[in-house]
Amino acid sequence: MKEWLGLVARLVTGGVWIAAGAVKLPDPASSVQAVRAYQLLPSSVVPTVGQLLPMVEIVVGLTLVVGLLTRGSAVVSGLLFVAFIVGIASVWARGITIDCGCFGGGGFDPDAASKYPWEIARDVGLLAMSGYLVWLRSTRLALDNLLFRRIPAPEGP
């Protein structure tokens, strides 16, 4: 049963990453603007992060969906979710009202403060799924199962 739950966690988390990256990929300027709006990174780093983030999200999402290098992808996924949770909590605490830019957009949003709790809760749930995938040895219908089969230990004499 836990392997099937792992499949669901892979598909949900991977699907979220693919959707988030795919929406941002065609408009790198908006992605850069969203990263800049958090006011957390040095301005010299913002363009690079803003332009690379959608590609990283898509790659992490695809590897999770197909079950390739699942544990490593889940670690990267978890680290990204921690960064996003910290970022959203930071702007909330500083009274900055911006769209999270999670699925495109970014910049000023007068209703942002009411959305922050939901965005943090969503990311905590996805972080928990990523953590489950790191903990779980294998999941159903994963390429990892074909590429990295475990050979049973020989039985004793």
pLDDT digit string, tens, across residues 17-52: 999 999 999 999 999 999 999 999 999 999 999 999
pLDDT on residue 105? 85
Helices (H), 25-156: 28-37, 46-66, 70-93, 112-135, 143-147
Residue 101 phi, psi dihedral angles, 5° rounding: 75, 10
Rounded Cα distance between 93 and 85, Å, is: 12
Rounded Cα distance between 91 and 101, Å, is: 12
Q: In this model, does residue 16 exceed pLDDT 90?
A: yes
Collapsing DSSP states into helix, strand and coil, what is residue 107?
A: strand
pLDDT on residue 149? 79
The count of other CB atoms within 10 Å of the CB of residue 156 is 4
Q: Give the mean model confidence (pLDDT) for residues 119-143.
A: 96
Per-chain mean pLDDT for the chain: 94
Task: Say if residues 56 and 21 touch (Cβ distance below 8 Å).
Answer: yes
Rounded Cα distance between 10 and 62, Å, is: 10
pTM of the model: 0.92
Q: What percent of the chain has pLDDT over 70?
A: 96
Q: In this model, does residue 95 exceed pLDDT 90?
A: yes
Query: Which residue type occupies 43?
Result: S
Higher pLDDT, 106 or 128: 128
Residue 99, strand partner residues? 107
pLDDT digit string, tens, across residues 42-78: 999 999 999 999 999 999 999 999 999 999 999 999 9
